[in-house]
Chain A
Amino acid sequence: MTTRISNELTRRALLMTGSAFALLSPAPAVALTNAAARGLVDDLVGEINRVIARGGSLPGMIRDFEKIFARYADVAIIARSTLGPDARRASPAQMRAFVEAFRGYIARKYGKRFQEFVGGRIEVQGVRQVKTWHEVISTAYLRGEAPFEVKFLVSDRSGRNLFFDMVIEGISMRLSEKTEIGAMLDANRGDIDRLIADLRRAG
């Protein structure tokens, strides 16, 4: 009986020492990427929190958001994915123009919404690897509302650590925009140039 207890204790002690060492020793590759993904979102959230703490004019906030989006998001892959299979028939020049127009559109559309966040904050909670990317889980605390979950999906496949989706309470920005871009393309009878022209005015 005594032996069993002391064995248990030793095992627990060992486990604890082990995990303490794991924290101290250089992290393995996966943990590093986890840390890198979290680091990216920490920086991103820091910038967002600064903007919503400062407040200011609408055009100013849209500009701020566009800068943040361009720096932290994988705009090219998000834009391309919202086009779906139609991306294949776009020429490189059309694709460049589309990505450019998409960036401005997202900045206007979501930058406007930033005003509702003034006085709120986002806190990063944790990170986990999912297939080839990392999911950084955070909580948004807005005034007069129950806290809600915001996930950032981060990948380094572009060569840099960038987020390629933002999921608010299960609602994916990328999937929602895919529906939107798909509807705009339909409205333009599949004409990518006219879609780009529409996108420059939208948001």
Chain B
Amino acid sequence: MRVMSTSIKSYAARFVLLGAVGAMTACSPAPPATGINDPWEASNRRMHAFNKSVDRNILGPAGGSYVTVLPEPVVTTVGNFAGNLATPSVVVNNVLQADARGAFTNSFRFVLNTTLGMGGLFDVATMAGINEVETDFGETLHVWGAGEGNYVELPVLGPSTERDAVGRIVDLFTNPLGYVLSEPEKYAGPVASVAKRLGDRGRYSQTVGSVLHESADSYAQGRSTYLQNRRYQLGGGAAATGDPYDDPYAATGDPYDDPYLQ
């Protein structure tokens, strides 16, 4: 018990510190990024080749057999369990972003799923129409005013940006459960999340396969997809290769000037 309260204290201290860092940086969200900032393309492409081989040889087959060996409800249950254990980390980020509504929604989801959902095995909150307000420390940095930085391809994890890569590292430590749970239990979350990742790889095999192994240039395709989706999550309208609204037809100017009016 004493050990537990010390670790809660140290956890709280870390976040007061982080909050102070946040307060020091200009507290308005960074303007939405546009275009592709990829000065490390050469080394990113080498990392991409490595990730592709990991996917082809390990992740793909493992994910595939994971979803074929285990019945679908089991895969879903493991996913729910991992998602629920990760929720406190999401709440921490909601709080750091001063998103009271998100923090409340996610806390409520955590309580519902942990109790009625039998420790998170069932996602009763989603069934009741209470969807997760997803976020992460990368978004927290964005809310605090940090720009996206350069594009990076991370080992195994894949597409990211400098800001989001920092976010992923910090998020290894933002889950309060990691501080309050004791020895074997504290590994439940990370283990379940690895299993969830395999399940997702198996379940979305066609999507992943089509981007990673069927694209003419899977590196460029992965980069474009990631940046478009990430900027959308962070509330920016601009897509990776320019705002589709502004510039649907790129160098040819207005979409309809060229083909229809000539």
Q: CB distance B217 to A183 under 8 Å?
A: yes
For the complex, give the distance between the alpha carbons of A2 and B220 in Å.
Answer: 67
B156 sits at the interface (CB 8 A)? no
Contact of B126 among A81, A146, A157, A164 (CB under 8 A): A146
B86 sits at the interface (CB 8 A)? no
Q: CB distance A184 to B216 under 8 Å?
A: yes
Give A132 Cβ to nearest chain B Cβ, in Å. Answer: 7
Chain B residues within 8 Å of A144, by CB: 72, 76
Give A95 Cβ to nearest chain B Cβ, in Å. Answer: 9
- Determine the main DSSP class of B at the interface with A: helix
Q: CB distance B224 to A157 under 8 Å?
A: no
For the complex, give the distance between the alpha carbons of A147 and B76 in Å.
Answer: 16
B249 sits at the interface (CB 8 A)? yes
A11-19, A34-42, A172-180: which one contacts chain B? A172-180
Q: CB distance B255 to A155 under 8 Å?
A: yes
For the complex, give the distance between the alpha carbons of A131 and B210 in Å.
Answer: 33
Chain A residues within 8 Å of B224, by CB: 175-176, 179
B259 sits at the interface (CB 8 A)? yes
Give B21 Cβ to nearest chain A Cβ, in Å. Answer: 28
A171 sits at the interface (CB 8 A)? yes
1/0 per residue B65-81: CB within 8 Å of A? 00000001000100000
Q: CB distance A80 to B258 under 8 Å?
A: yes
- Determine the main DSSP class of A at the interface with B: helix
B23 sits at the interface (CB 8 A)? no
For the complex, give the distance between the alpha carbons of A117 and B250 in Å.
Answer: 32
Chain B residues within 8 Å of A157, by CB: 255-256, 260
For the complex, give the distance between the alpha carbons of A113 and B255 in Å.
Answer: 27
1/0 per residue A156-172: CB within 8 Å of B? 01110000110101111
B12-20, B110-118, B238-246: which one contacts chain A? B238-246
Known: A157-B260, A174-B244, A175-B228. A183 touches B215 (CB 8 A): yes
Among residues of A, the one whose C-beta sits closest to the C-beta of B246 is A131
Given A158-B256, A171-B228, A183-B216, 18 more A-B residue pairs with CB atoms under 8 Å apart are A77-B256, A80-B259, A85-B251, A88-B252, A113-B206, A116-B206, A116-B207, A132-B254, A146-B132, A155-B255, A157-B255, A157-B256, A158-B260, A165-B248, A170-B233, A171-B225, A180-B221, A183-B215
Q: Would you list the 7 A-B pairs with minimal beta carbon distance, nearest first?
A: A170-B232, A183-B217, A157-B256, A183-B216, A85-B251, A184-B216, A81-B249
B residues engaging A (CB < 8 A)? 72, 76, 126, 131-132, 206-207, 210, 215-217, 220-221, 224-225, 228-233, 239-242, 244-245, 248-252, 254-256, 258-260
